[in-house]
Amino acid sequence: MRILRLLHLIMVAALVLAAADVYRIKFDSTRQGEHLAKLRGDVRRERDAIGSLRAEWSELDAPKRIQALAQRHLPLKPIEINQYDTLDHLPERPLDIVPPGTADPIGAIIETRSDAALLTGTIAPRPNPR
């Protein structure tokens, strides 16, 4: 009998605890639900804002508008066909000034340079062979 009564007590206590816990969970879930709804609303709003900004951006970025702006403000011109070239038309890499493995490369450069005619960018480039 004693075991039975103990069992009774435990059950009543468990029931009360469970009820309290269920209530807590319910309250919590309601709160979470509201929070979620609010966040969802925020996300929607943000997404709508992103949507309208993207629409505006693509309106501003439309080729028609960009072309008109470029023609008005930039001195750019369409690329001509002879402005393209392929990599195999690049001239050969110039020979090394100093043979590799020289003990004092900098000294060797000064040595060779001092004798060679001064070459700077101001000298007119060689005419294009093509």
Partner 1 sequence: MPQSAPPVAIEHWRRRLWRNLLYGHNVDRGAKARARVGLAIMAFATVYAVIAGKLVMFAVIGDSHSVRRGVGTDAVATARPDILDRNGEILATDVKAPSLFAEPRKIIDVDEAVELLSAVLPDLDASELRERLASKRGFVWLKREITAKQQQEIRHLGLPGVGFLSENKRVYPNRSEVSHIIGHVNIDNQGIAGIEKWLDSSGLADLHMAGFATDRLQKPVVLAVDLRVQHVLREEMLAAREKYKALAASGLITDVRTGEILAMVSLPDYDPNNPREAIDPTRINRLTTGVYEMGSTFKALTIAMALDSGKISLGSTFDARVPLRYGRFNIHDFHAQHRVLSVPEIFTYSSNIGTARMALALGVDYHKAFLRKLGQLDRLRTELPESAEPLLPKRWGELNTITIAFGHGLSVAPLQAVMGVAALMNGGSMVPPTFLKRTPEEAAALARPVVKPETSEKMRFLMRLNAEKGTASKADVKGYYVGGKTGTAEKVEHGHYSKTKVLTSFMAVLPADQPRYLLLVMLDDPQTASDTHGFTTSGWNAVPVGGNVIARVAPLLGLEPRLDLPPAERLILATKEAR
Question: Does the protein bind partner 1 through residue 19 (CB under 8 A)?
Answer: no
Question: Is the CB of residue 99 less than 8 Å from the CB of residue 111?
Answer: no
Rounded to an integer, what distance in angstroms lies between the CA atom of residue 21 and that of residue 29? Answer: 12
Check if the beta carbon of residue 108 is closer than 8 Å to that of residue 98: yes
**Residue nearer to partner 1 on the CB measure, 75 or 78:** 78
Rounded to 5 degrees, what angle do the CA atoms 56, 57, 63 make? 110
Question: Applying CB under 8 A, does 70 fall inside the site for partner 1?
Answer: no
Tell which one of 63, 91, 127, 129 touches partner 1 (CB under 8 A). Answer: 63
The position carrying tokens 């979620």 is 36
2 near partner 1, rule: CB under 8 A: no
The single residue among 13, 29, 71, 109 that binds partner 1, judged by CB under 8 A, is 29
Under 8 Å between Cβ of 97 and 112: yes
Work out which of 48, 70, 71, 107 binds partner 1, going by CB under 8 A.
48
Give the interface with partner 1 as residue ranges (CB under 8 A).
Answer: 4, 7, 11, 15, 18, 22, 25, 29, 33-34, 36-37, 40-41, 44, 47-48, 51-52, 54-56, 58-59, 61-64, 67, 78-79, 81-82, 84, 86
